[in-house]
Structure 1
């Protein structure tokens, strides 16, 4: 008598439902924009509520309306566009100078352990020194002109870039290096054709992050001995207790930094389209 086996049903993999607040769950680009803009709306609404409602004295915190009025005054009567241009120039000059020196040094440290052993203690020591502490010395060495301000940004950026690039290059995959040696590459070719191309997307991301730090150093550089720039305007406004202009100067720095960050991201995606960054 033939035995009858029950019909087996194929197992179907069931994808779990996506949950909006699940850990590491991706967010659509449109939702990301809406959420980001929504936070700014809530922030300005709370600011307006406490200032326009009389809960905070205008001496300590200007209202959004007052800030807009002061912003118009800055552009129409105090040539604030010139101050913005000077600040952007100082940031770019100090950051580009730091990048031109720090990136090759970082690549050398990451690629050659002897160079790393020689330079890392000094670079690590300098990385913890605040850039503002150098201002008295820089004034003695370079005066109170543009060079002093550029050097503050340079000192604040260069040591960070060196170490971060060194770590990035030093983390290269050993199997790729060994494969290149097997194919006949020499040490210089390893650096040029394996280490640098492999680390290039991450180096670009490091530069994007450090550019954001450079914007914090420029205000410190402009607080002393400066006759132009956003930091100079903030200092003058503080002496007059004009919180509207102070807040607007801070917001302008944030907006310029945000635009430069998005521009850096777009450039990185264009240059390294094959990377996941």
Structure 2
């Protein structure tokens, strides 16, 4: 009896290693939390034992003290709101323009032939290289920050949406034609419903990239924002403020990612087998 139970337990553990094998939500959450705990333990072990100079890597306690100072004395909440607004406005502009363009490129070859080479060409240009031009063209105010987020998100977003739309099964299109659907009717009734789960995943992925561009966007003459705090802290050699700013960006990005993931699973549960 004991041996049979032990064999079942061993078999269950081995099943965790099967490719794409589902695990329980409890186990998933436990493993996710444990990864953060492991990082914290390693960080604490290195810093509290003074293996690294606090100037280069402060202790978790130093980070907490910096967080308290930033929020209570330096108005860090305002900087967070400024950064959030820049990321979301810049990304939403990219999504509003990029979504229909990506759908058209993925649907019609004539549109693909016209737009895809140019977009692919610009996509490989680093966003930071555009900053001098943005400053020259639109100055150093808010539009320049939004332009950095927009350019960093738009071109990849368009191409990834186009690929997702282009991968819609041809059998679905042929069936729609058989039922008398028009060319543009197929976009509404077949292509968009089939591609939307993938488009939502792409949106989630590219939004994560948009968060990585915020430091670049706030690098030049930003009066507020997390990037502004990080740059100012670098000049004053306040390493703990820098690390806390980076952590906050990571937390905000993770929250956005989790929210979009939950919304996608709820809206398109049929696509995820639940």
| TM bracket, shorter-chain basis | over 0.9
Question: Which residue is 1:120 aligned to?
Answer: 116
Q: Quote the offset at 1:26 in angstroms.
A: 2.4
SS of residue paired to 2:125? coil
Question: Which residue is 1:7 aligned to?
Answer: none
1:233-244 equivalence runs, <5 A? 233-244=229-240
Asked whether 1:109 is paired with 2:95, we answer: no
Q: Quote the offset at 1:130 in angstroms.
A: 1.1
Map Cα deviations across residues 226-250 of structure 1 (whole Å, 9 max, x no partner).
1100000000111111111111000
1:82-101 equivalence runs, <5 A? 82-101=78-97
Provide the C-alpha distance between the structure 2 equivalents of 1:243 and 1:218, rounded to a whole number of angstroms: 19
Question: Which residue is 2:152 aligned to?
Answer: 156
Q: TM-score, normalised by structure 1?
A: 0.92
SS of residue paired to 2:54? coil
Higher helix share: 2
Question: Which residue is 1:255 aligned to?
Answer: 251
Map Cα deviations across residues 78-115 of structure 1 (whole Å, 9 max, x no partner).
00000000000000000000000001000000110111
Question: Which residue is 2:47 aligned to?
Answer: 51
257, 261, 266: which one pairs with 2:262?
266
Q: Quote the offset at 1:225 in angstroms.
A: 1.3
Map Cα deviations across residues 50-92 of structure 1 (whole Å, 9 max, x no partner).
1111110011111100010010000000000000000000000
Asked whether 1:70 is paired with 2:66, we answer: yes
Q: Quote the offset at 1:22 in angstroms.
A: 3.7
SS of residue paired to 1:241? coil
Q: Quote the offset at 1:17 in angstroms.
A: 3.2
Question: Which residue is 2:23 aligned to?
Answer: 27
Question: Which residue is 1:17 aligned to?
Answer: 11
* Structure 2 unmatched ranges of 5 or more: 1-9
Question: Which residue is 1:197 aligned to?
Answer: 193
Q: How many residues align?
A: 262
Structure whose CA Rg is larger: 1
Provide the C-alpha distance between the structure 2 equivalents of 1:144 and 1:226, rounded to a whole number of angstroms: 8
Provide the C-alpha distance between the structure 1 equivalents of 2:269 and 2:17, rounded to a whole number of angstroms: 29
Provide the C-alpha distance between the structure 1 equivalents of 2:86 and 2:40, rounded to a whole number of angstroms: 30
Provide the C-alpha distance between the structure 2 equivalents of 1:41 and 1:176, rounded to a whole number of angstroms: 47
Provide the C-alpha distance between the structure 1 equivalents of 2:259 and 2:21, rounded to a whole number of angstroms: 26
SS of residue paired to 2:270? coil
SS of residue paired to 1:248? helix
Question: Which residue is 2:224 aligned to?
Answer: 228
Q: Quote the offset at 1:273 in angstroms.
A: 2.2
Calculate the aligned-residue CA RMSD, in Å. Answer: 1.3
Provide the C-alpha distance between the structure 1 equivalents of 2:20 and 2:152, rounded to a whole number of angstroms: 33
